[in-house]
Structure 1
Amino acid sequence: MFIIIPQTPQNYALRIKQHAERTANLDIRSGVNYRGLAGFLNRPFAEDHRDATVDVTNPAEPPLVCVKSLVEGGRQTARSYHAVSDCATFEQDPPSLVNKAAHLVWLQGYPAPEWINAIGAQYRVDPEFFRRHLIFLQSKDNHDFAAMPSSAQRMLTLRLTTICHTQFALRQTAIEAARNEATNAVRQHQQRLRTGDSVVRKYSVFDNTIFTIDQELAIYVERKKQHNGWIAIVCSDLGKDLTQGPGGLSSPWLGEEPASPPACEPVIMHVPKLALKHPHQHRFVNVTSNGSPLMYQNASLLADTIDLQSGGDDIYLDVREALHDVFTLIAAAESQFLTMVQGLVDREIQLQSSGKQTEWTLSNLRYFKSSIDDHIVNLENTLDFLRHPDVPKWAPHTRSPRALSREGTPAGQAQHSRYRSPQGEAFAEYSRLSSLGDDYTRLLQRATKLSNRCVENTTILMNMAMLEESKKAIVQADGLTRLTLLAFFFLPLSLTTSFFGMNFRELGTGSMHMWVFFVVAVPFLLFSTLLCFWGAVLPNFRGRMQWAWKMFTSGAR
Structure 2
Amino acid sequence: MANLQPPSAPGSRNPPDPNRHAPRDYAAAVHRHSLRSKEHHLFTGTNYRSLALFLRNKNSRASAGAGQAPGLSREHDILIIHDLTPAGRRITRFNSLTGLQDFHNHPLPADHCGQLVFLRGLPSPEWVNAIGARYRVDPELFWQHLPLTSGHATFDLPALASAACNIAKLTVTSIGHRTVGHAQSVHGGSSVLEPTRMSGSVLGPVGQSIVRKVSIHDEQNFSIEQDVHISIIKRGEGWLALILIDSGRDLDEGWVGAWDSSLHQCSRVEEIFSPVIMKEPRVCFQGADEGENPPVTAQRRPFSQSTSLLSGEQYGYYLHAPTMRVDAFYALHDVFAFVASAENQFLNMLNAKYLSNTRRYSTISQLEKELTNLRYHNMIVRDHASQLQRTIDCIQNRWDPHWIRPKRPRPPNRQSPPAGPEQGPEHLLAAHESEVQRTEAAASMLLRDFHGLLRKAQELSQRYNERIDEIRTSNMLAESRKATEQARSVTRLSLLAFLFLPLSFTTSFFGMNFRELGPDLSLWIWAVTSVPVFVFALLCCFWADVVKGISLFGRRGRKQSR
Common fold, TM-score beyond 0.5?
A: yes
Query: Residues 126 and 486 from structure 1, CA distance in 2 versus in 1: closer, same or farther, beyond 3 angstroms?
Result: same
The residue that corresponds to 1:95 in the other structure is: 107
1:16 paired residue number? 30
Q: Deviations over 1:79-111 (max 9, x none)?
A: 1111244212211x2331442211011111111
Distance in 1 of aligned mates of 2:361 and 2:199: 37
C-alpha change, 1:438 and 1:254, in structure 2 (3 Å) is: farther
Instruction: Return the letter of the residue paired with 2:383.
Output: D
Give the structure 2 partner of residue 217 of structure 1.
228
Coordinate RMSD, CA, aligned: 3.9
Aligned to 2:83: 69
3-state SS of the aligned residue for 2:443?
Answer: helix
CA 84–438 in structure 1, closer or farther in 2 if over 3 Å, else same: same
**2:469 is the counterpart of 1:466:** no
Match of 2:488 among 469, 478, 485: 478
Cα distance, 1:285–1:139 mapped onto 2, change above 3 Å:
farther
Deviation at 1:513, TM superposition (A): 3.0
Q: Contact 1:62–1:108 at 8 Å: present in 2 too?
A: no
Q: Is 143-152 or 458-467 further displaced after alignment? A: 143-152
**What is the TM-score of this pair, normalised by structure 2?**
0.81
The residue aligned with 2:304 is 296
Q: What is the CA–CA distance in structure 2 between the aligned matches of 1:166 and 1:372, rounded to whole Å? A: 21
Gaps of 5+ in 2: 1-17, 410-425
Count of residue pairs brought into register by the alignment: 515
CA distance in 1, matches of 2:307, 2:61: 31
- Which structure features the higher share of helix residues? 1
Q: Which position in structure 1 is the counterpart of 2:539?
A: 530
- CA offset at residue 444 of structure 1? 0.6
Q: Which residue in 1 is equivalent to 2:56?
A: 42
Q: Please give the secondary structure, in 1, of the residue aligned with 2:163.
A: helix
After superposition, the C-alpha distances for 1:200-236 in whole angstroms (9 at most, x for unaligned) are 111001111110011111111102465xx21111111
Q: Any idea what SS the aligned residue of 1:208 has?
A: coil
Pick closer, same or farther for the CA change 1:62–1:178 going to 2, 3 Å. Answer: farther
Q: Output aligned runs, 1:102-141, within 5 Å.
A: 102-141=114-153
Structure 2 residue aligned with 1:405, among 422, 430, 449? 430
Alignment of 1:221-236 (within 5 A): 221-224=232-235, 229-236=238-245
1:299, distance to aligned residue in structure 2 (A): 2.0
Letter in structure 2 aligned against 1:442? G
Cα distance in 2 between the residues matched to 1:517 and 1:113 = 102
Instruction: List alignment gaps of at least 5 residues for structure 1.
Output: 417-427, 551-557
Matches within 5 A, 1:310-389: 310-351=319-360, 358-389=367-398
The sequence identity of aligned pairs, in percent, is 31
Match of 2:276 in 1: 267
Partner-residue secondary structure (3-state), 2:526:
helix
Instruction: Decide which moves more: 469-478 or 147-156.
Output: 147-156
Q: CA 1:286–1:106 in 2, change beyond 3 Å: closer, same or farther?
A: farther
Distance 1:528 1:485 in 2: 12
- CA–CA separation in structure 2 for the residues paired with 1:429 and 1:320: 8
By how many angstroms is 1:23 displaced?
2.1
CA distance in 2, matches of 1:402, 1:502: 125
Alignment of 1:449-460 (within 5 A): 449-460=459-470
The residue that corresponds to 1:419 in the other structure is none
**Cα 1:540–1:287 shift into 2, 3 Å:** farther
**CA distance in 1 between partners of 2:448 and 2:39 (Å):** 48
When residues 274 and 490 of structure 1 are mapped into structure 2, their CA distance, relative to the original with a 3 A threshold, is same
SS at match of 1:200: coil
Equivalent position of 1:82 in the other structure: 95
Distance 2:135 2:203 in 1: 29
Correspondence for 2:164: 152
Q: Secondary structure at the match of 2:358?
A: helix
> Shift of the alpha carbon at 1:156?
0.6
What CA distance in whole angstroms lies between the structure 1 residues aligned with 2:501 and 2:427?
A: 101
Deviations 1:326-379 (A, max 9, x none): 111111101100110000111222426999965421112112111111110110
Partners of 1:121 and 1:158 in 2: how far apart?
25
For residues 156-202 of structure 1, the C-alpha deviation after alignment (integer angstroms, 9 at most, x for no partner) is 1110000011122567754669716x22x745999773111111111
Residue 393 of structure 1: how far off its partner (Å): 0.9
- In the TM superposition, 1:399-438 aligns within 5 A as 399=408, 404-405=429-430, 430-438=440-448
Q: 1:205 aligns with which of 200, 203, 216?
A: 216
Distance 1:318 1:381 in 2: 21
Q: Secondary structure at the match of 2:224?
A: strand
Local SS of the residue matching 1:137:
coil
Which position in structure 2 is the counterpart of 1:167?
179
Tell me by how many angstroms 1:544 deviates.
9.0
Instruction: Give the aligned partner of residue 555 of structure 1.
Output: none
* SS of aligned partner of 1:152: coil
Distance 1:170 1:309, change over 3 A: closer
C-alpha displacement of 1:396: 4.1
C-alpha contact (below 8 Å) 1:74/1:309 kept by paired residues: no
Q: TM-score under structure 1 normalisation? A: 0.82
Q: 1:394 aligns with which of 400, 403, 410?
A: 403
Q: Which amino acid aligns with 2:102?
A: T
Whether the 8 Å CA contact 1:109–1:196 is kept in 2: the answer is: yes
